[in-house]
Amino acid sequence: MREFSWAQIGAARTTIAPFVHRTPVFTCSTLDERCCGHVFLKCENLQRTGSFKFRGAVNAVASLTPDQRKRGVYAHSSGNHAQALALAARLHRIPAYVVMPEDSNKAKIDATRSYGAAVTFCRPTDDDRRATAARVGAETGAVFVHPHDDLRVIAGQGTAVCELIDEVADLDLILAPVGGGGLLAGTVVAAKHLVPAARVIGCEPSGADDAFRSIQRGERITDFTPNTIADGLRTSLGEKTFSIIRESVDEVVVVAEEEILPAMRFVWERTKLVIEPSSAVAVAPLLTRQIDVTDLRVGVILTGGNTDLSRLAPMQGPLP
């Protein structure tokens, strides 16, 4: 996609540096033994607001003109972008309005409100999210910040893998979850610039596999209703993100729903890192050997750690 390049990610690194945490990279010998590779976990679950989404949101808000800041910002989000935009707006002392599906993770709803955003609920469909957001925008006059299909957001998300590559040299493979595609799009552009030989693979839950099906079909799928435990991935690809992903990502793999919570539990127990189901989608293919990483150096973006524990009774049972 010609309108997006490494230069925007490089500029975003400078813009967001005063606001974001430089998150650590963890390793796990048990995970390495299970997949026969060398895995490096980029811990965006330890980012401000508990997810990588803060990178893109604060880059977008910091890029607003003075007049736009006076009007405030709005968005629709199942939770992580909602929290991220709310905090980014608070740090810049502007109002934020967020539309969230009524079945959103309660922890994410509470956090979004705690950062000062006004929350409006909608039905859990893409059509109703967009319609409700349009109404909120018309009522408030605020500036829309798309959760993923905004080049400023994509650039901000791409900075996570830059930090990973700074710390871990010579990666052979990079795995990132894909929902709306902002993280994967930013990751692939940054990775192909910094480590051209590395393969980049998107990981997607079977209950929301529109990226995989869109690539197979050759056109973006928008008419679908996601049904996945990975609530942060319950959204469709954007036009901009699909264009970047289709052009540059090496592969998208689909992860079975029943593999997600065991992978999350594995990370919790073996690394003591609290991650959410969306993060586990990029770990599961390593544990199940769906992707062969024998003797490879593998980077994994752990996207977030905002988990509603009351929903996770299915975590009972054997590890994968």
Residues annotated catalytic, as ranges: 53, 78
Per the document, the length of the chain is 320
Q: What angle do CA 189, 76, 255 make, to 5 degrees?
A: 55
**Alpha-carbon gap, residue 175 to 281, rounded angstroms:** 10
Contact 97, 72 (CB under 8 A): yes
Give the contacts of 203 (CB within 8 A, at least 6 positions apart).
175, 176, 177, 178, 252, 253, 255, 281, 282, 284, 285
- Rounded CA-CA distance 167/159 in Å is 13
Q: Which pair of tokens denotes residue 148?
A: 């993923």
CA distance 21 to 106: 24
Among 182, 193, 189, which Cα is nearest to 151's? 182
